[in-house]
Every structure is written in structure tokens, then in C-alpha cells.
Amino acid sequence: MSIAPNGTLIFTDTPKDETYVQFDVNGPPPKKEHVKLKHFPLLNAWDDYIWNASITYGVPFELIKAICVAESGMNPSAESHVGAMGLMQLMPRTAEGLGVADPWDPEQNINGGTKYIKKMIDRFGDYEIALAAYNAGPGNVKKYGGIPPFEETELYVKRVLEVYSLFLMEQPKLPF
């Protein structure tokens, strides 16, 4: 991954020079501490919708954004092999149950996904378990009494919490 002079993110499997950073969306975020997430334009494209959902549902902005990064790489057109859609990768039945008419619409997708993670947080009382439920379903969390022993879910929870932590560190410090 590299950033073009106009701010566009460039993803490739054949890097052309040393400005490229290896980035795997299926693993933890890059370990380069000098990378400032605020300099990635796509990470900021949907901030207004994320802020509105954060305020509406009382879920931290940084957590919602971390879920979007982990789920879709901030791509509103992302579709998984099982049919999950959009920024927060809503399954069709889940989207319908949340009142999301168009899961491809970034605002509706973020609102629906935030409403759902809020339900999981309220139900399980813990971000780790709520994230596991978001990924593997609340039935699996209940069945296993916590994070299910699924590699995908274990990696997902770890990835979201690591990105969440990075976003928390990016916040400007108040002068008082």
C-alpha cells in the first residue's frame, strides 16, 4: 500500500518502490508506528456518518470506525463471500431486521451496523464479546460462553481492538 501525491491509496501486490507499506486486511494493522491514520483519506470519508451514529447510539466513534476498517477496509461497495454488504458488512436478514432499506448506502449501513453493535454491547456488556457476537453471531457467543473458538472470529476481535486503540491514540490532546 502507498499513497499517491493526490492522497489516493494504492494497493498492489507488486510494489514499485520503498514508499509502499505491506498491509494485510486479514491480519493486524501495520506495526509501523510512524504511520498516522489521519493521513489516509479513505479512512476519513465517512466520518460525518460515523459521528452521527456514535451520538445516536452512544457507541465510541473510534470503535465504529475500527469495525468499518476491519469489516470492509472502509469500502462501501465491499461484499463478502457469504453476502455481507457495505462498510460494516451487514448480512441481508440482519440489515432488514435493523430497518436498513439500502445496505449499500454508507449512511444507512453505518447506522444499522452501529445499532447492531450497540445491541451486542448492551447484551454482553463487554467490547470483546460484543465484537465476537458481531462477527460470529450472538448464538455462537452464547453457545461457547464467550469468544467462539473460530480463528476468523479470534483474529477479527484482535484486529478491531488494535485498530480501535490506534484511533484512540490519534485523537488530539486537549490543552487542559
Contacts of 117 (CB under 8 A, 6+ apart): 59, 63, 64, 67, 130, 131, 134
pLDDT above 90 coverage of the chain, percent:
67
Of the pLDDT bands very low, low, confident and very high (cuts 50, 70, 90), residue 145 is very high
- C-beta separation of 97 from 116 below 8 A: no
Higher pLDDT among residues 45 and 78, named by residue: 78
Residue 21 has pLDDT above 80, yes or no: no
Amino acid at 150: F
For the chain, the domain total comes to 2
Same domain for 18 and 91? no
Domain span at 18: 1-25
Residue 147 has pLDDT above 90, yes or no: yes
Same domain for 85 and 140? yes
Same domain for 66 and 133? yes
Count of C-beta atoms within a 10 Å radius of residue 19: 11
The dihedral sign for the CA sequence 135, 170, 123, 53: negative
Residue 148 has pLDDT above 90, yes or no: yes
Same domain for 21 and 92? no
Cell 430497518 sits on residue: 99
Higher pLDDT among residues 175 and 143, named by residue: 143
Same domain for 18 and 49? no
pTM: 0.75
| Average pLDDT, rounded, for the chain | 85
- Min mean pLDDT across 16-25, 52-61, 109-118 is at 16-25
Same domain for 159 and 72? yes
Question: What are the residue numbers of the active site?
Answer: 71
Number of helices followed by number of strands (H, E) in the chain: 8, 2
Backbone angles phi, psi at 137, to 5 degrees: 95, 145
